[in-house]
Amino acid sequence: MDTTQRTDQQRSADRRRRELLEAADRVVLRDGPGASMNAIAAEAGITKPILYRHFGDKGGLYAALAKRHTDALLEALRAALDAPAERRERVEATLDTYLAAIEARPQVYRFLMHPSEGGPQGDQGFDIGLYSAPVLRRMGEELGKVIEERVDLGPGSQQLARVWGHGIVGMMHAAGDWWLGERPCSRAELVRSLADLLWGRLAAAGDRVGGPGF
């Protein structure tokens, strides 16, 4: 098999994988945490063994969906952080971007973070913790890198930026999860309250010389 044939086959496989993930997305939007491999295979017009051939098992499919949505969310968060605005406005925009994302697609969020108890029928034994924890860790590391690049934290800045990155992601996740379930206030009110919580030492930190600031 020559290089051209291998490239064509890879493109075809990548396209088919995207189509299957789009089918999975549609089922998750409809069924939320109850989305099953059977339902996803039916939506894609294939049999479950073919779905397993592409993703291995539900864990593999979950990891692919998690990466798809995390990539999109991280891109939106970076855009909010790099917007031409005052630091407080960018902090609020970043918090609002995360909350708006989970509010817009609550079924996807619940599928990624809150599978139905025992898993959907036929999917028992799926351990969500094996996959959801890396999603949050990745977000924490990425946010830590952004903070380190944009804020002068003085000695030990790399470690402190990572602590802040994971801490902010943990706060957004916990507060957002509670808010999405109970809706005790508006999204704007939650954003302001969380920004107030962050607005202590961050407000006093200096921007790095020559950098865009945070």
Residue indicated by tokens 């005052």 = 86
DSSP 146-160: HHHHHEE--TTHHHH
Locate the domains of the chain by residue range: 63-207
Supply the pLDDT for residue 89.
Answer: 92
CATH fold group of domain 63-207: Tetracycline Repressor; domain 2 (1.10.357)
Exposure string for 168-179, b = 16+ CB within 10 A, e = fewer: bbeebbebbeeb
Whole-number Å distance between alpha carbons of 205 and 51: 50
Q: Is the CA virtual torsion 194, 195, 198, 199 positive or negative?
A: negative
Pairing of strands 151-152, 206-207: antiparallel
The secondary element (H helix, E strand) that includes residue 122 is none
Q: What is the mean pLDDT of residues 119-147?
A: 72
Question: Across all residues in the chain, what is the average pLDDT?
Answer: 85
Supply the pLDDT for residue 118.
Answer: 42
pLDDT at 100 over 80: yes
For residue 152, the tally of other CB atoms under 10 A from its CB is: 14
pTM over 0.85: no
pLDDT tens-digit map of 42-61: 999 999 999 988 888 888 88
Q: What is the mean pLDDT of residues 76-90?
A: 88
Type of residue numbered 81: L
Supply the pLDDT for residue 209.
Answer: 66
The set of residues, in sequence order, having a beta carbon less than 8 Å from that of 158 and lying 6+ positions away, is 148
Q: Rounded to the nearest 5 degrees, what angle is found at the Cα of 72, between the Cα atoms of 56 and 44?
A: 40
pLDDT tens-digit map of 148-206: 888 888 888 899 999 999 999 999 999 999 999 999 999 999 999 999 998 876 676 77
